[in-house]
């Protein structure tokens, strides 16, 4: 697809171009397997010598079309869908780092990713150093070890709502010969394209805004194609030396800088872990992507209006949203997210924990959900739900105070949302 096309056009047109007489809408290729005339034909696929489909655990045309659309939106060289955002982050890291290796991650990341790195991947022999996303460059550089293989952060952290200084993290990663992986879930490529700022790999939980309707779980990994693995071949033997499980193919030689990462991740990790997205789910995701730019505009406008309203309300103690001029991350957001950030805000009431519970109970439009980032406004009080096993002191240390309410602004009319929030606050 023409790389000069703009986001709205790519959301509609990229990834799938039907031929004469073929379906205009992306077909759901609901088939586990694909047939060949001879074993020799199929053998070439198994040696990665020919392109083609043979089993939907490795690749499926519907999923590939949707991956290609997201790849175009991010401005990458290759992409693959996964069954969830968790699978995307696990595989993006595990593709280049394993037992005996080390990664550096921002401490302000999604709880599921924090757990993945600090507990589960640790059991696999991979160590993670967590750094404050606002640390100095010297502090960041000091976290590297000889066995560090990647740096990880989120453009806008869920739920901390910090904005990552992508250039600072990319500079440090590149100075140490490793890639920067950015989870771009909350910003989406509509509001930020991390590759433009030096990120090398981008991941998403497509479960959030990309689907946007709370209908289907999914993830995606996109490669920028800009990181030269062969320059640091000693660090990345999996990409730069022969793979015995594919007749000795060396991914960087056969697939180049732009193709090596995703080909290896598909051919090895998807083959062995099998956390695929189904073609049916990819089809639903594709429908969501078509309207993504328009929905993001509305999510951001609603969040801005609600954040400003809350900031002016006497019962509200604090509001966090990087679109507010006095927010700690306003300047970074102006740089990396000039057209808007996301629809998620957080705030606290003077009455603390008790007030939060009362407030949420009285909301009529905003429902209580662990989910965020879809068309319906929803809210969560972590201290009494997802984080309820923690003491108030532990909650503070985790940056999720006992009073914190996370509010994900949907696509409703902002005046209705504000009126609903207003009446709920009256009950506090």
Query: Cβ closer to ligand PLP: 27 or 112?
Result: 112
Q: How far is the CB of 381 from ligand PLP (least distance, A)?
A: 18
Cα–Cα distance measured from residue 71 to residue 142, given in angstroms and rounded to the nearest whole number: 33
Told to check if 205 binds ligand PLP by CB under 6 A, we report yes
Told to check if 406 binds ligand PLP by CB under 6 A, we report no
Phi and psi at 406, nearest 5°, equal -100, 125
Piece in contact with ligand PLP (CB under 6 A), picked from 17-25, 201-209, 220-228, 349-357 = 201-209
In which element (H, E) is residue 80 found? strand 78-82
* Structural Rg of the chain based on CA atoms: 22
Given its phi and psi angles, is residue 386 left (phi above 0), alpha (psi -120 to 50 degrees) or beta?
A: alpha
Question: Of the candidates 286, 328, 297, which has an alpha carbon nearest to the alpha carbon of residue 409?
Answer: 297
Q: How far is the CB of 327 from ligand PLP (least distance, A)?
A: 19
Q: How far is the CB of 388 from ligand PLP (least distance, A)?
A: 19
Q: Which of 86, 216, 224, 257 touches ligand PLP by CB under 6 A?
A: 86
User: How many chain residues touch ligand PLP (CB under 6 A)?
Assistant: 16
Told to check if 219 binds ligand PLP by CB under 6 A, we report yes
Using CA of residue 292, residue 296, residue 299, residue 302, what is the dihedral sign?
A: negative
Helix axes 292-311, 279-290, angle to 10 degrees: 70
At 131 the three-state DSSP class reads strand
Query: Cβ closer to ligand PLP: 154 or 200?
Result: 154
Looking from the CA of 25 toward its CB, the CA atoms found within 13 Å total: 7
**Residue length of the chain:** 428
Cα–Cα distance measured from residue 252 to residue 257, given in angstroms and rounded to the nearest whole number: 6
Cα–Cα distance measured from residue 276 to residue 205, given in angstroms and rounded to the nearest whole number: 13
Q: Which of 27, 112, 351, 399 touches ligand PLP by CB under 6 A?
A: 112
Q: How far is the CB of 423 from ligand PLP (least distance, A)?
A: 29
- The residue whose Cβ lies closest to ligand PLP is 85
Binding mask 149-188 for ligand PLP (x = CB under 6 A): -----x---x------------------------x-x---
At 11 the three-state DSSP class reads helix
Piece in contact with ligand PLP (CB under 6 A), picked from 37-45, 73-81, 109-117, 394-402 = 109-117
Told to check if 113 binds ligand PLP by CB under 6 A, we report yes
Told to check if 85 binds ligand PLP by CB under 6 A, we report yes
Piece in contact with ligand PLP (CB under 6 A), picked from 1-9, 44-52, 80-88, 94-102 = 80-88
- Positions touching ligand PLP (CB under 6 A) are 84-86, 89, 110, 112-113, 154, 158, 183, 185, 205, 207-208, 217, 219
């Amino acid at each position: 697809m023409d790389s000069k096309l703009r986001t709205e056009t790519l959301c509609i047109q990229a990834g799938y171009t039907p031929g004469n007489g073929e379906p205009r809408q992306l077909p759901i290729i609901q088939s586990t397997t694909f047939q060949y005339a001879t074993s020799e034909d199929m053998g070439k696929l198994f040696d990665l010598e020919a392109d083609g489909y043979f089993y939907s655990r490795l690749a499926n045309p519907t999923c590939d079309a949707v991956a290609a659309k997201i790849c175009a939106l991010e401005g990458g060289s290759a992409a693959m869908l996964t069954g969830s955002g968790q699978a995307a982050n696990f595989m993006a890291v595990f593709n280049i780092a394993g037992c005996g290796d080390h990664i550096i991650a921002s401490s302000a990341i999604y709880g599921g990713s924090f757990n993945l790195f600090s507990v589960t991947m640790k059991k696999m022999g991979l160590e993670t150093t967590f750094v404050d996303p606002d640390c100095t460059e010297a502090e960041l550089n000091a976290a590297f070890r000889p066995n560090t293989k990647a740096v990880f952060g989120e453009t806008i952290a869920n739920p901390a709502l910090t904005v990552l200084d992508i250039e600072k993290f990319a500079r440090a990663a590149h100075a140490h010969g490793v890639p920067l992986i950015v989870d771009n879930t909350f910003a989406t490529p509509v509001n930020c394209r991390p590759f433009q700022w030096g990120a090398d790999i981008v991941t998403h939980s497509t479960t959030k805004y990309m689907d946007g309707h709370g209908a289907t779980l999914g993830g995606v990994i996109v490669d920028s194609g800009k990181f030269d693995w062969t320059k640091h071949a000693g660090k990345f033997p999996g990409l730069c030396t022969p793979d015995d499980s594919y007749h000795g193919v060396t991914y960087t030689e056969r697939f180049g800088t732009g193709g090596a990462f995703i080909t290896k991740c598909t051919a090895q990790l998807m083959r062995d872990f099998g956390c695929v997205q189904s073609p049916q789910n990819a089809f639903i995701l594709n429908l969501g992507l078509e309207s993504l730019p328009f929905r993001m505009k509305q999510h951001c406008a609603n969040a801005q209006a609600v954040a400003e309203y809350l900031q002016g309300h006497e019962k509200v103690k604090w509001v966090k949203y990087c679109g507010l001029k006095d927010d700690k991350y306003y300047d970074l957001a102006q740089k990396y997210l000039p057209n808007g950030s996301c629809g998620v805000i957080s705030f606290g009431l003077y009455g603390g924990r008790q007030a939060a519970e009362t407030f949420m109970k009285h909301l009529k439009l905003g429902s209580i959900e662990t989910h965020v980032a879809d068309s319906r406004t929803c809210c969560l009080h972590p201290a009494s739900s997802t984080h309820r096993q923690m003491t108030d002191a532990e909650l503070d240390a985790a940056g999720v105070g006992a009073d914190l309410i996370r509010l994900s602004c949907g696509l409703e009319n902002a005046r209705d949302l504000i009126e609903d929030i207003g009446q709920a606050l009256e009950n506090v």
